[in-house]
Structure 1
Amino acid sequence: MSDSRSKAVRKRALGVFQLFAGLVLLAGAAQAGSDWPRVVYSEDGTPISYEVHGSGEPTLVFVHGWSCDLRYWRAQVRHFSRNHKVVTVDLAGHGHSGLQRESYSMSAFGEDVRAVIEAVGSDDVVLIGHSMGGPVVAETAQLLPDRVRGLIGVDTFQNLEEEVTQEGMDEWLAPFKSDFRERASQFVASMFVPETDESLRDWVIADMSAAPPDVAMSAMEHLLKDTMTGEARQVFDGLEIPVVTINADLWPTNVEANRRHMHSFDAVLMQGTDHFLHMARPEAFNTQLAEVIAQLTNSDSPRND
């Protein structure tokens, strides 16, 4: 076969493949009833992947925890996109977002979420953050005070007055630096209770322990340093919006300590579940979350002016 004929055959084959792939994507989008992932650039130029589902205000922005990604909110996307615009975000270094950042701080993550909210164009937002996502959404709220109605933490903000020393931080991080995958697996396993579905537990352990070690270690170091320096408390200075957490009873939540540093704080405790309560017990969690959202929507929030 001549070179010109061979090129023509390859071109036709490529055209057929592209047409087929396009039809598959369209069919998938129609079946899912949602938008495909989008990309926006954070302040430092890192591409941030996010998804938008449904419609209705306030917009609910879900932010995952350490070494997780937007897939961890599947059960909430299906439930809440019936009545709300639901936005899920892959923070930098997670999921399908960029990996070029050198330092994965909570403030930089907050910029990621701000970029997504501005790209979506929502002016009435409830920020929902799981675990590390709690401090991240607090950073975002400082950046967009006129758009954020309230913060909802998911098993986070257990105690803003917790003390961390440099020695304690170094001791905690050492096993991760020695063998990240092994130590991360042990760490994540400790976040579950025996009643949690075994397949869910195994998937989360395998997924989180496969995170890029450089990203995970940087984020963990910043979390601990923010606690040690007081930044974890100071981020709430001047933030006059309600904060509510839906926490498991796996670890104690010090409500009074948090109230000394927040304009308004309340906690809902779910009994007998674990750190991933939104995945382990999605129906019960979604019921609690819907109640908290309703409280924020009907409160005397500045967003109701």
Structure 2
Amino acid sequence: MAPFLAYEDKGADSPLLPLVLVHGHPFDRTMWTPQLEAFAPARRVIAPDLRGYGASPVHLGVTHLSRFAEDIRELLDALAVDAFVLAGLSMGGQIAMECYDRFGDRVRGLVLADTFPTAETAAGKVARRETADRLLAEGMRGYADEVLEKMVAPYADPEVKAHVHRMMTSTSPEGAAAALLGRAERPDYRALLTRVTAPALVVVGADDEFTPVADAEAMHAALPHSELCVIDGAAHMPNLERPQEFNAALGAFLERVDAEAARGTAGSLGAVDGGR
């Protein structure tokens, strides 16, 4: 069966773990272009357009994080990807947490960028519902104009700003509204973080107003096997604003996860040999 989601699947066959990248709201898979370019030469990199975003079909009504997670599971099943490193930014980080809750046995490394694990507050639910109504009534442009310099820092490169604005204005209002309504009902992932057994990397832009450094520090404290990377000169999208720094942190993390996976495989083979 053909996958439901549109996606990028780049990189040659490699013994290294595939990297799965989950974009945020209201973006699409092109937000990961610097990471696809950096990591696809050595490993398989998969970046889907979430339901309602980019070239994937629009879902009307409400899209819960659980639905996004199941879409990703179905895509990875269709692509025969069993074990992988999972990275998500903002809403994508919350979807990554939901994925870990549902099929964490397949996740060998978890990257949470510019995100937070708590359930929505009462005021936050009202705000998300109001924004969803506004997007349906007015479209994306006014919203995109207002939040652009919170998504990326005011001092960000003009080309980065243009890319982020273009992604936002190209997003389906119906898809974005459905996701906002779903996020309003999201669960609290804080207890889940304490049970994550995979290595984790928490990344945040130093000037992020949506998910400030304090949120990243709290996740780092909750995760049993985590590292924290604060990227200077970036706001909510350090992977685009400071791709070299982001890729350096992600690359070092991937090397450690690959090494751990290789040791685990060698240990398993040793156990089999020892029983002969």
For the aligned pair, the TM-score class normalised by the smaller chain equals: 0.7 to 0.9
Aligned partner of residue 87 in structure 1, secondary structure: strand
Aligned partner of residue 92 in structure 1, secondary structure: coil
1:104 aligns with 2:60: no
Once residues 145 and 2 of structure 2 are traced to their aligned partners in structure 1, the CA distance between those partners, rounded to angstroms, is 30
What's 2:271 paired with? Answer: none
Is the contact between residue 176 and residue 183 of structure 1 (CA under 8 Å) also seen in structure 2? no
1:131 to 75, 90, 106: 90
Give CA deviations for 1:38-69 in whole Å, capped at 9, x if unaligned: 941xxxxxx21122111322011111111211
Give CA deviations for 1:134-157 in whole Å, capped at 9, x if unaligned: 111122223323321011122223
What's 1:35 paired with? Answer: none
Counting only pairs closer than 5 Å after superposition, residues 4-83 of structure 1 correspond to structure 2 as: 39-40=2-3, 47-54=4-11, 55-56=13-14, 57-83=16-42
Aligned partner of residue 235 in structure 2, secondary structure: coil
What's 2:133 paired with? Answer: 177
Give CA deviations for 1:8-58 in whole Å, capped at 9, x if unaligned: xxxxxxxxxxxxxxxxxxxxxxxxxxxxxx941xxxxxx211221113220
TM-score, normalised by the number of residues in structure 2: 0.81
Once residues 221 and 249 of structure 2 are traced to their aligned partners in structure 1, the CA distance between those partners, rounded to angstroms, is 25
When residues 168 and 262 of structure 1 are mapped into structure 2, their CA distance, relative to the original with a 3 A threshold, is same
Once residues 64 and 262 of structure 2 are traced to their aligned partners in structure 1, the CA distance between those partners, rounded to angstroms, is 29
Once residues 155 and 204 of structure 1 are traced to their aligned partners in structure 2, the CA distance between those partners, rounded to angstroms, is 15
Is the contact between residue 58 and residue 174 of structure 2 (CA under 8 Å) also seen in structure 1? no
Structure 2's unaligned 5+ residue stretches are 269-276
Aligned partner of residue 146 in structure 1, secondary structure: helix
Shift in Å at residue 261 of structure 1?
4.5
Q: Which has the higher contact order (CA 8 A, sep 6+)?
A: 2
What's 1:30 paired with? Answer: none
Shift in Å at residue 133 of structure 1?
0.7
What's 2:164 paired with? Answer: 204
Is the contact between residue 149 and residue 302 of structure 1 (CA under 8 Å) also seen in structure 2? no
When residues 82 and 100 of structure 1 are mapped into structure 2, their CA distance, relative to the original with a 3 A threshold, is same
Once residues 55 and 257 of structure 2 are traced to their aligned partners in structure 1, the CA distance between those partners, rounded to angstroms, is 31
> Which stretch has the larger CA shift, 281-290 or 168-177?
168-177
Shift in Å at residue 247 of structure 1?
1.2
Aligned partner of residue 289 in structure 1, secondary structure: helix
Is the contact between residue 92 and residue 99 of structure 1 (CA under 8 Å) also seen in structure 2? yes
Give CA deviations for 1:222-248 in whole Å, capped at 9, x if unaligned: 32332xxx4333554744223212211
> Which stretch has the larger CA shift, 47-56 or 250-259?
250-259
Once residues 144 and 2 of structure 2 are traced to their aligned partners in structure 1, the CA distance between those partners, rounded to angstroms, is 29
What's 2:273 paired with? Answer: none
Q: Larger Cα Rg: Structure 1 or Structure 2?
A: 1
What's 2:274 paired with? Answer: none
> Which stretch has the larger CA shift, 86-95 or 201-210?
201-210
Once residues 91 and 253 of structure 2 are traced to their aligned partners in structure 1, the CA distance between those partners, rounded to angstroms, is 20
Once residues 281 and 139 of structure 1 are traced to their aligned partners in structure 2, the CA distance between those partners, rounded to angstroms, is 27
CA RMSD of aligned residues (A): 2.7
**Matched residue type, 2:235:** D
When residues 72 and 254 of structure 1 are mapped into structure 2, their CA distance, relative to the original with a 3 A threshold, is closer
1:269 aligns with 2:226: no
**Matched residue type, 1:127:** L
Counting only pairs closer than 5 Å after superposition, residues 250-265 of structure 1 correspond to structure 2 as: 250=207, 251-255=212-216, 257-258=218-219, 261-265=222-226
> Which stretch has the larger CA shift, 206-215 or 166-175?
166-175
Once residues 49 and 78 of structure 2 are traced to their aligned partners in structure 1, the CA distance between those partners, rounded to angstroms, is 14
